[in-house]
Amino acid sequence: MANQSDHRKPQFHRGKVAAAGVTIFLLLITLLIMFACGNPKQGTILYGICGTFLEQNVPYPEAIFKKRVEQYPRGVRIYYNQIDPFGQHRLDMIECAFVKNEQGQIILETVLHNREEVSQDILDRFNPTIPIIVAAEPNLDLPWPLPDITRQLQEAAQD
């Protein structure tokens, strides 16, 4: 006759199980916060196409820094800072409006650069490159939001 003590169910201590559960929960929360805070928000492919158009059509930029992006269902507006070869800083804006052609491909309909319309000839040369740009997966990282200076000044005035 077999000893009944050999077939006992293992006993778990509730304190150890609870501590392990809390540890796993805190680890998951920490990973979630690291993932959410570490990655910038992503824009749409329209933002990527408009950003590529901007990089290809700004004459002689030493550097382009995107400051703010407004995304719409059929368009994108990018506010950016550029530094020219002489070290001058300029704040400019580009606005891209998109449509689908007969084949269902996205094309640039109009582009306003500092509220001036870009010629149709430039758009006609750029539009055939859009499938290549999409296939190359352009950088879609949105710029970090700028601080609300008005709110900061109001808080400083209240102190």
pLDDT for 37 equals 67
What pLDDT, on the 0 to 100 scale, is given for residue 35? 67
Domain 45-135, CATH number (from 3.30.70, 3.10.450, 3.40.50, 1.10.12): 3.10.450
Tell me how crowded residue 73 is: count the other CB atoms within 10 A of its CB. Answer: 7
For position 158, what pLDDT does the model report? 72
- The model's pTM: 0.68
User: Which residue numbers in the chain have pLDDT < 50?
Assistant: none
| pLDDT confidence of residue 150 | 67
pLDDT at 111: 96
How far is the CA of 120 from the CAs of 21, 70, 73, in angstroms? 62, 23, 22
pLDDT score for 16: 77
